[in-house]
Amino acid sequence: MRLPVLFALQLVALAAAASAAEAAATFSSRMVHRLSDEARLEAGPRMGLWPQRGSGGYYRALLRSDLQRQKRRLAGKNQLLSLSKGGSTFSPGNDLGWLYYAWVDVGTPTTSFLVALDTGSDLFWVPCDCIQCAPLSSYRGNLDRDLGIYKPAESTTSRHLPCSHELCQPGSGCTNPKQPCTYNIDYFSENTTSSGLLIEDSLHLNSREGHAPVNASVIIGCGRKQSGDYLDGIAPDGLLGLGMADISVPSFLARAGLVRNSFSMCFKEDSSGRIFFGDQGVSSQQSTPFVPLYGKLQTYAVNVDKSCIGHKCLEGSSFQALVDSGTSFTSLPPDVYKAFTTEFDKQINASRVPYEDSTWKYCYSASPLEMPDVPTIILAFAANKSFQAVNPILPFNDEQGALARFCLAVLPSTEPIGIIGQNFLVGYHVVFDRESMKLGWYRSECRDVDNSTTVPLGPSQHGSSEDPLPSNEQQTSPPVTPATTGTAPPSSATTNRQMLFASSYPLLFLTMSTVFFIS
């Protein structure tokens, strides 16, 4: 007589498992580095001379936007969703300030836009009913679809956001509650702005697990007028904000119950990656809470307790830092930078050499046959959480393309706030869990980037989930080169050199501090 009961219980268990599987779904998009070979092929001959990887020009191009950014900081169904075209991304623009793009589909019928991805701003805007926008004609022929202009009047699902809407702030210049709400974003880059009207329309998303496509209602900036760098090829087809504000796309997706209030990014050493909407990472990941910056919890900032170089952890080296995957190179507050570089220079067994680019102060001689061991660099957080920087150096090549020198890719900040930039994030899956208000991370090879049917929800492929901190008993621990961090030592100098070159081309993911206000 117990068999029917047991069978019923089994059915209940199977149903619960199926429900849990659906709840684990996420939305994802593949990322490709702007200066990668794939991006060069997509851009075609119009781009002219492409910076050679490992050259001084290559790193100066990446540094260009970083130096500007340091002057000012801030600005139902739980599935995984992806943006248009399976999440494939690349960068066809003619400026190096914005590095990662993704196709998005908006409106009914749909119009496609190649938007820059920005974790440091909030509003999703596209060129629309233009008064002053970047010319798009030069991109035709280099992409598999033309860049678009948004025309709300031609979308049957669009409507103007009225001044009475809660996201149109009071006192923004509205004289009538039914009047269309306007916006104006003033970016830090000199005279770079976007302004226009706020529109509510559909953003079309695809499910990672083969569920039906999702049409999410979001607020879009109808960008009628751009200025500054936007007219010179930076984000010519718009920008997708990933910030914390209620008006950002992740906020809309979470409030609608489509995904968990979280997204993540994984970073491969070959300059590709993917963004996952709704992903909260894995149970084995490390995490640390987001903290208020200048008294406000409005950006992805964390507390760093101390920095460890090789066998020594620096006392008094705590600081707050933005986790900014759009900044190429990590920067430290001035006092921390001084202690950090002094200790690094003391431990590295290499001859220090001057470099013509005055930006890099700590450069050392090297060759393809002789690459000195680089001290490990670990950032420590509260509760003994930490991660080891995978790519803390820049290798520079000579005119023949051979390794000639390398520099420590850490810069002094102009403020008492640091930035954990993309060169420290390569090799990790980084989780921006806005539901728990935590940053999570775990080692990952991002294997699903080229296999959209597999979500990387398994444990780390690099063994231990934590990077052990140096202790007084570990004074003789051997240093590890960034190329071999977390892996078995290479068997030859050639292998070491190849891995070093591969590790020198990290992902850069756009983040620009903005001041957003409704005008």
Span 451-477, pLDDT tens digits: 433 333 323 333 344 556 665 434 333
Residue 15: per-residue pLDDT = 52
d(CA 519, CA 7): 63
Q: Is 180 exposed, middle or buried (0-12, 13-18, 19+ CB in 10 A)?
A: middle
Residue 405, Cβ neighbours under 10 Å: how many?
A: 21
Set 118, 305, 448, 467: catalytic member: 118
Widest CA span in the chain: 86
Residue 90: per-residue pLDDT = 46
Confidence check: pLDDT of 169 > 60: yes
Query: CA 434, 438, 439: angle at the middle one, nearest 5?
Result: 105
Give me the amino acid identity at 123: L
Q: When comparing pLDDT for 442 and 265, which is higher?
A: 442
Does 246 qualify as catalytic in the annotation? Answer: no
Concatenating the DSSP letter of every residue in 287-351 gives: EEE---BTTB--S-EEEE-EEEETTEEPTT--EEEEE-TTSSSEEE-HHHHHHHHHHHHHH--S-
- In this structure, are residues 362 and 407 in contact, taking their beta carbons and an 8 Å threshold? yes
- Residue among 112, 101, 99, 138 at smallest CA distance from 231: 138
Q: Name the pLDDT band for 319 (thresholds 50, 70, 90).
A: very high
- Residue among 510, 470, 504 at smallest CA distance from 239: 510
Lowest mean pLDDT of 84-88, 147-151, 177-181, name the range: 84-88
Q: What is the mean pLDDT of residues 88-101?
A: 47
Residue 234: per-residue pLDDT = 77
Range of 91-95, 259-263, 400-404, 448-452 with top mean pLDDT: 259-263
Q: What is the mean pLDDT of the chain?
A: 75
CATH top-level class for 286-443? mainly beta
Confidence check: pLDDT of 4 > 70: no
Confidence check: pLDDT of 292 > 90: yes
Does 232 qualify as catalytic in the annotation? Answer: no
Lowest mean pLDDT of 52-66, 234-248, 436-450, 496-510, name the range: 496-510
> Measured between alpha carbons, how far is residue 389 from residues 220, 307, 483, 507 in Å?
37, 11, 11, 14
Set 324, 433, 448, 467: catalytic member: 324
Residue 368: per-residue pLDDT = 84
Concatenating the DSSP letter of every residue in 439-470 gives: EEEEE---GGGG-TT----S--TTS-SS-PPP
Lowest mean pLDDT of 40-49, 146-155, 408-417, name the range: 40-49
Range of 194-203, 269-278, 325-334 with top mean pLDDT: 194-203
Residue 490: per-residue pLDDT = 32
Residue 462: per-residue pLDDT = 36
Q: Is 463 exposed, middle or buried (0-12, 13-18, 19+ CB in 10 A)?
A: exposed
pTM: 0.72
- In this structure, are residues 336 and 325 in contact, taking their beta carbons and an 8 Å threshold? no
d(CA 145, CA 82): 19
Domain with CATH 2.40.70.10 in the chain: 81-277, 286-443
Residue 199: per-residue pLDDT = 96
Residue 468: per-residue pLDDT = 62
Residue 408: per-residue pLDDT = 94
Give the architecture-level CATH label for domain 81-277.
Beta Barrel (2.40)
Q: Give the β-pairing of 27-32 and 272-277.
A: antiparallel
d(CA 446, CA 456): 7
Q: When comparing pLDDT for 47 and 475, which is higher?
A: 47
Query: CA 476, 311, 267: angle at the middle one, nearest 5?
Result: 125
Confidence check: pLDDT of 358 > 60: yes
